[in-house]
């Protein structure tokens, strides 16, 4: 099993940046693929990005490509989401998820979830 704790959310103006962190603990967290999802007000939870264990393959949702960057520090057992040029439509609770096998946009495929961190983008 792995435990996930997100941090780094907050309020930011349009065009601003935030970096989210997901601290992973438990048994061999480096063996898990780690992803970010988000759920905006009144919306379904949606995929944002994923980072594989091992070779570090990444995937992004089209809505965040070129603005968000997912990265991983295995020494710290932490996955980051650098978010640049944030827009009001990025307002959401951001969740970290992990799974040994899942590597894609379907949230039900991930077995482990953090509690979420709020990101609000407004002027």
pLDDT digits (tens, 9 = 90+) for 39-87: 999 999 999 999 998 888 999 999 999 999 999 998 999 999 999 999 9
Percentage of residues of the chain with pLDDT beyond 90: 89
Interatomic CA distance for residues 2 and 99, integer angstroms:
9
Residue 19 neighbours by CB under 8 Å, 6+ apart: 8, 80, 81, 82, 83
Higher pLDDT, 29 or 99: 99
Checking if the pLDDT of 29 tops 90, the result is: no
Give the chain's length: 123
């Amino acid at each position: 099993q792995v435990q996930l704790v997100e941090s780094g959310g907050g309020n930011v103006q349009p065009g601003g940046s935030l970096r989210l962190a997901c601290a992973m603990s438990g048994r061999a967290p480096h063996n898990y693929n780690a992803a970010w999802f988000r759920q905006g007000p009144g919306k379904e939870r949606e995929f944002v990005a994923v980072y594989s264990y091992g070779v570090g393959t990444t995937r992004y949702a089209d809505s965040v490509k070129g603005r968000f960057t997912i990265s991983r520090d295995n020494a710290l057992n932490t996955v980051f989401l650098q978010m640049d040029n944030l827009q009001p439509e990025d307002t959401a609770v951001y969740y970290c998820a992990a799974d040994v096998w899942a590597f894609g946009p379907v949230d039900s495929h991930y077995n482990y979830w953090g509690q979420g961190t709020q990101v609000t983008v407004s002027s």
